[in-house]
Amino acid sequence: MRKPALVLVVMIVTIATANPASSASAEPAIRALRKIEAAVETGVTYKEYLTLLADVRLEQKIHRDSMTASDAEVARAISEAWQEYTLAAVLWEQQISFISANLSESHELSSDFGQTLKRHCPNSAQGSYVSLRNCKNEVWLRGSAKTAAAIQKSRDQEGLAKPSERADKSGKSRSPSGR
């Protein structure tokens, strides 16, 4: 009679301590985002960048296909980072096209293309011009910030955030001292 009771206790403990996020771990998608981030920091070719971007997309789709309802916030954060990195790829392609055609990569803000760039990269405007290179760099920085947000959401979901990293009930971050 003790054996079935022991089995029951083991089953209850296993279920109680199981991590629901592990079935749809975001770790591979986040790792792929981190690879892009590291490549941008250390130097990457356009072709290598596109391969890394495709890797993120694959991992993002795998995560989305196996996620639970509680994974939605992490999936959304991963998607937002991927979108920024994809926009950077489009800007990089435009930059290559302009340079190949011996055209300036700076565009007048009065042009439609200049306005589009300014809308996506408000901090890249310099006087009456906006630079593709500066815009691409601005988008990369946003992608990096969104990658950090995805990592934090994943940690929060898995309960791995340090108490000092968690937000209090008012939504404001607490300092390590609790002040």
pLDDT by residue, tens only, the chain of 179 residues:
455 444 444 333 333 333 443 335 888 889 999 999 999 999 999 999 999 999 999 998 888 887 777 778 888 899 999 999 999 999 999 889 888 888 888 888 788 888 888 888 888 888 888 888 889 999 999 999 999 999 998 888 777 544 444 444 344 443 333 33
pTM of the model: 0.69
The DSSP 8-state label assigned to residue 175 in this structure reads P
Q: Is 162 helix (H, G, I), strand (E, B) or coil?
A: coil
Report the distance separating Cα 147 and Cα 135, nearest Å. 18
Write down the pLDDT at residue 99: 86
H or E element, residue 118: helix 112-120
What was the pLDDT predicted at 24?
Answer: 57
